[in-house]
Structure 1
């Protein structure tokens, strides 16, 4: 089990500040689906994310961060991401243990909680063409905008080597 409490949005922002990474955060009512969050689009330019926490049969975990309207074929994506088998969704307990978030708040920023390197981070190539990427700051009642190049720096600073792959149709 997790030895410490998951990091908070404040911890995340302090970490980003320490890296000299610029970001902007907008608070809003909690959103649990892409459909609910579409209302924010006019106010927040850039690529908005959808995140899939998946695992293969050997219990290798992956976080797929893609553009919100993109389609991921769960029957074939394992071939692209290097999974040992077809993938299925990870359980909420593992999501909390590894990324420190609940379903509905899954985010690339969850990598800050994965100090054991249990999750392989995959950023979709199409998402990374945006200058700005928008992710939840560890909770689904806010959205944080960060430069896509800085998202890569963030991942590296958390000890993850993000793979930028074409995982969407």
Structure 2
């Protein structure tokens, strides 16, 4: 079990780290937090919990008005354009051991987060003090970057402040400037109980593509021993179409586009314009941008599957 808010605050006092503490109702956004501490001066922080394709995790902690482009950041880390995406919610509990809305640099205090990389906005240093949640979003504490660094060093972290809005060229003679901040090892999360049970059922109860007798189906779908046919080999008696194997890529693309749209829509201008209705406004914008593209993509994938599946059924029926 991870540290509690009270235990973290006690540790900060033991380290003689100066901070001010403010209690308030539970908040899930920077805008909601600003209603309670925004008038106190200092910098409000937004914190992104991200992962790459190799299951390496990152916390990006930035001032609320700093524009973070995930595609640019991904390139600067040496991960390619689509290498970063939002981490799954289960990783909050498994790695950071905090609930939704409580990700901050303090989340790294738990041993389970030892492989999570931290990127801090260099703009924090221009603030007299900055606000963060101390493992619980019903409280905010303000402290200087000097004291934040003192905490991070106490848990074996070397603070890394970067210009998150920079977009330097990356090429053969210009290596990614943030590559050194990529974690050295990946983290494997345990499968959710439902997913594990579903996977087990699928293995124990393979589905046949034909309603013919078991013997006939086995004959019709018997894998070839010819190495040249490995690419088209059936799996568990079921011929898997290319469109099915591409579902993972489709999901990854969808997550990338959604994350990019979410970040591009969350600007100081839209926050002021929509206020409490910001969530609904962003949701409508994302739906509008993605609907046509998704409908087109899914239609193409569906037609591809139907054509391949139709060809497969024709081959099966031809055997009888």
Instruction: Establish whether TM, by shorter chain, passes 0.5.
Output: yes
Q: Which residue of 2 aligns with 1:156?
A: 153
- The SS at the match of 1:126 is helix
Q: Name the Cα RMSD after superposition.
A: 1.7
Q: Deviations over 1:80-139 (max 9, x none)?
A: 3x3534210111111222222122121111111245512111111112321211100101
Answer 1 or 2: which has greater strand percent. Answer: 1
Residue 9 of structure 2 corresponds to residue 30 of structure 1: no
For residues 166 and 140 of structure 1, the distance between their equivalents in structure 2, rounded to whole angstroms, comes to 26
Residue 104 of structure 2 corresponds to residue 84 of structure 1: no
User: How many residues are paired up?
Assistant: 164
Counterpart contact for 1:121–1:161, Cα < 8 Å: no
Answer 1 or 2: which has greater helix percent. Answer: 2
Counterpart contact for 1:47–1:127, Cα < 8 Å: yes
Stretches of structure 2 that go unaligned for 5 or more consecutive residues are 167-320
Residue 107 of structure 2 corresponds to residue 110 of structure 1: yes
Q: Which residue of 2 aligns with 1:131?
A: 128
Query: CA, structure 1 residues 65+83, in 2 after alignment: closer, same or farther (shift >3 Å)?
Result: farther
The alpha carbon displacement at 1:70 in A equals 1.8
Structure 1 length-normalised TM: 0.89
Query: CA, structure 1 residues 9+147, in 2 after alignment: closer, same or farther (shift >3 Å)?
Result: same
Q: Which of the two has higher C-alpha Rg?
A: 2
Q: Deviations over 1:36-63 (max 9, x none)?
A: 1221244432111000000111111110
Structure 2 length-normalised TM: 0.49
Query: CA, structure 1 residues 48+32, in 2 after alignment: closer, same or farther (shift >3 Å)?
Result: same
2:48 to 29, 52, 62: 52
Counterpart contact for 1:60–1:83, Cα < 8 Å: no
Query: CA, structure 1 residues 83+8, in 2 after alignment: closer, same or farther (shift >3 Å)?
Result: farther
State the 4+ residue runs in structure 1 displaced beyond 3 angstroms.
none
